Amino acid sequence: MRKYCSLLILILVFIGLDTRAQKLTERKVRKLFDKSSLMQEHFVGFILQEEGGKIVFSQHEDIHFVPASNTKLLTLYAGLQILGDSIPAFHYEVSGDSLIIWATGDPSLLHPDLDNGKVFHFLRNTPYQIFLAEQHPIVFEPSYWRSDPALFPIYGNTATISKDSQAGLQVSPKAMGSFIKPDSSLFQNKFNIVRSKSGNELIYPHLPIPDGFQDRVPFPMDLHMSRYLLQDTLKRTVNLVRRQKGKNIKTYYSIPSDSLYKHMMLPSDNFLAEQILILCSGMISDTLDAKKTIDYLNEYWLNELKNVPIWEDGSGLSRYNLFTPMTVLEILNRLEGIVGNKERLKCFFPAGGVSGTLRTAYKLDEGKPFVWAKTGSLRNMHLQSGWMETRKGKTYRFVFMNNNFVRPTSEIRNEMVSIITYLHDNY
């Protein structure tokens, strides 16, 4: 009997030792970072949290980092808090024989990845004369990294331009063709089309158009351009009018909100991110202004965070944005609470080895992804924040922020992937 008791005790001891060996601990995670010489060369913030809420390991969790496109996590949070299930395409009223439209900032109309045709067919088939109501213009700094934020976007405020068979340029939408011009003062080493520093022109140098040339070029956008493009597309007159909203305003909806969020998050679309904040501002005020959305969330939704973010834009292009790893972790937790459904939440995030900005970063494990995370990249900055599932069936939230490195971004990304993959494989 004693022999059997001793054997049982020995088995239990070994089971206990094996369980402790498999358990992910702070010491084991710290060892991964200590062993990485690359992670000692720059500013690294990291948090790993169990699904139940316990933080396994944290480093510089309350230090502010430039978040780059991790800013879009807050933009997604804003949309989920403020917008409903569908995106408001515009507000309108019928007055006599006129359909008067007030813009909302909806970016989906004739967008190559978003448009479902609903708004186009409504406007094309309305029996009324169409008027766009003049509204306070959106103030922004033009950028080559995104299309202009706009009251009434159309075609994603982007022209698709390619070389045609006659060695000229083919433009979509065709109406933008009249704005594309050669410029003898533009000196470039290769053929490229850029927006002019003033006016509405898209200009290119006096160089041969290379075979196979194709590009998507953001064009300058305001309500006058919206009217021009809408009129050309609908093949009917569209005018501008000064008109205050009355009491009988109705709202016409375009696409499901989830579709817009997905197309912002997976490719990290900067234009869509800014438009989401503009859409939100129209729900909480009478002015379309992304800053109003940021101020509103800071006052009513983010003021209880441990570290209130310094938040400047929707896309993360601004280096004035400053978030701590703890702030990002709290937002991840809140997103889980709002969405509720884990599979729906995953659809908003790039999946490692499958989609979006993580499609080529991670390898699949037996054909399945194990990371769903939002990336962020600016020069000398690279980040990933989201969820990781392990081979043993555990789910962890993680925030991985790298700032001020001088190596190529690919080296930083590979080291991040190596650390997250090791955690997945072993725990």
Q: Classify residue 360 as exposed, middle or buried by CB count within 10 Å of its CB (0-12, 13-18, 19+).
A: exposed
| Displacement of CA 189 from its chain's centroid (Å) | 32
The sheet that has 202-204: what strands, in order across it? 180-182, 202-204, 194-195
Q: Which helix (H) or strand (E) holds 293?
A: helix 290-300
Neighbours of 419 (CB within 10 A): 20
Output the pTM of the full model.
0.91
Identify any residues that bridge with 400 across adjacent strands, giving them in sequence order.
46, 384
pLDDT in tens, 109-133: 999 999 999 999 999 999 999 999 9
Check whether 9 has a pLDDT greater than 70. no
Determine the pLDDT at residue 372: 98
Q: Which residues contact 126 (CB under 8 A, 6 or more apart)?
A: 99
Please say whether the beta carbons of 109 and 115 come within 8 A. Answer: yes
CA-derived radius of gyration, the chain: 26
Nearest 5 degrees, angle CA 285-CA 286-CA 289? 75
C-alpha to C-alpha distance for 154 and 106, rounded to whole angstroms = 9
Q: Mean pLDDT in the chain?
A: 92
C-alpha to C-alpha distance for 374 and 384, rounded to whole angstroms = 6
Check whether 186 has a pLDDT greater than 70. yes
Determine the pLDDT at residue 196: 84
Please give the single-letter amino acid code of residue 205: P
Nearest to 420 by CA among 380, 371, 360: 371
- Mean pLDDT value of segment 328-334: 98
C-alpha to C-alpha distance for 92 and 330, rounded to whole angstroms = 38
Check whether 4 has a pLDDT greater than 60. no
Domains of the chain plus CATH, in order, are 25-80+278-426 (3.40.710.10), 157-220 (no CATH)
Q: What are the strands, taking DSSP E only, across 104-193?
A: 129-133, 158-163, 169-172, 180-182
Nearest to 217 by CA among 162, 272, 264, 166: 162
107: tokens are 């970016």
DSSP state of 219: -
pLDDT in tens, 263-301: 999 999 999 999 999 999 999 998 999 999 999 999 999
C-alpha to C-alpha distance for 77 and 330, rounded to whole angstroms = 11
Of the listed ranges 15-24, 274-283, 302-311, 404-413, the least confidently predicted one is 15-24
Please give the single-letter amino acid code of residue 34: D
- Mean pLDDT value of segment 413-417: 97
Of 83 and 2, the structure prediction assigns the larger pLDDT to 83
Check whether 21 has a pLDDT greater than 70. no
- Residue listed under structure tokens 């699904």: 51
pLDDT in tens, 385-412: 999 999 999 999 999 999 999 999 999 9
Determine the pLDDT at residue 234: 96
Determine the pLDDT at residue 246: 84
- Mean pLDDT value of segment 231-259: 95
Determine the pLDDT at residue 18: 46
Check whether 6 has a pLDDT greater than 70. no
| pLDDT tier at 361, thresholds 50, 70, 90 | very high
